[in-house]
Structure 1
Amino acid sequence: MSHGKLLSTFYLFETPIQDACKAAGLVRPGGRAGTGRGTVSAHRFRHTVGTQLAERGAKLHTIMKVLGHTSVSMALVYAQISDQEVLRDYKAVLGPGATIAGPAADELRNGSLPDAAVDWLTTNFFKTELELGRCLRLPAEGPCECDLYLTCAKFVTTPEYAPRLRARREVEQTLALDAAQRGWEREVERHRCTSDRIDKLLADLGQPAHPEE
């Protein structure tokens, strides 16, 4: 503050950085009256911090917090999927020879996913995670309103989700039993259908329905 007014970022950062650049000889030729422009800017420092955070294994949420981003895709510009957990998950779904299951699995195995879709997923993969797997639906396809692990052609899952799949299977079977005791046949059918679908996903992943198996 100066005399009750906020000092501008230009005064606080850009001006002294430009002065330092000129003193150090880090100046591009040209500019008004023959004065050159410094090769370093406040934005360049900001970009360096974001890149160093990513390269040293910082979480995407950490990068977002430090840089003040509200969009994950903005943080991924710096990270370039440098976050090791995101990179591991990405390879587990989209990498060669990945063990996957779900309606989208064949499309991924056959390499028939359009380049534009792969580009979007590369940048936004952090946002595709669901309770039991990943949704590969693109923004242009509109909102999704289906039961993701039953009918959605964009759903895919990996062995890492096996514990969640088993837990959801147990919940569905408990609900089916409760519905049967109440005489709610349609509910019994619905919950058993979900349980059977999860059984199929686990089988496709080569995972047992029960962890002790």
Structure 2
Amino acid sequence: MAAAAQLPDELDRLMIQILARTGMRRGELLGLRINAVVQIGTGYWLRTPVGKLHTDRYIPLDPALKTLIDTWIAHRPSWQASDLLLLERGRPIPPTRVDKAVQKAATAAGIGHVHPHQLRHTLATQAINRGMSLEAIAALLGHADLSMTMVYARIGDRTVADQYFQVTNKIEALYQATEPAIPVLPAEAAGPAMTALHAEVDKRLLGNGYCRRPVELDCRYETICETCPMFFTTHHHRPTLIAQRNDACAKGQTRRAEIYTHLLEDLDHATA
């Protein structure tokens, strides 16, 4: 984050880093508590406050961002009584303070007006164009249903994306250049903590890989695509469906096994 990293104010730099690397809403940022960083196994997650879903959610925490948060807490004056993470002179930060910080970085980068929510949109768009599933993006952003996340899938269409990225490429100037390029999502950047976390997570067999959800966290999206009326499969995918069904049976996941059994039966009827 070249322009943001050069801002003289530590609070400005931290707010922009959190917004850009987690995709959280401005209100969620301001509601973060001093104990927001949660250790699960040997990895770290950022617990966001109650939002539109009326439940806390956990965002994988990039090691570099954790270091920034730890440094901020270490410099926190002992006389501050509030448990909010982000304070200025001991007082809660107003939303306009976040807006001004983002605009400072935008001005330094030589671009026009940028609102904090645009950093959220940019992260989501980058994620879907790099292959992150809609379900994972919905969980990351705290979307109540996939219809909200589908907006980014539509943006993924090249006829729309060509025009969209004329804008988002400028926004990316806020967090490009001087630091090493990140080939995947910031939350998945390589590091000792994340590497150890990946070794401990519960793996769920999927068509193109595994779910890396920690066993301590519940998943609301089990087989969500396979139960969608828009889901379509072919005989080409039969080996994967069989493997998924067998995996579900081995784990005693009756409902999941029934879903894949039903899909296989539909394929048999279609090819009979």
Instruction: Normalising by structure 1, report the TM-score.
Output: 0.35
Please state which structure has a larger fraction of its residues in strand. 2
Please state which structure has a larger fraction of its residues in helix. 1
Q: Which of the pair has the greater relative contact order for Cα pairs under 8 Å at 6+ separation?
A: 2
Instruction: Normalising by structure 2, report the TM-score.
Output: 0.29
When Rg is computed on C-alpha atoms for both structures, the one with the higher figure is 1
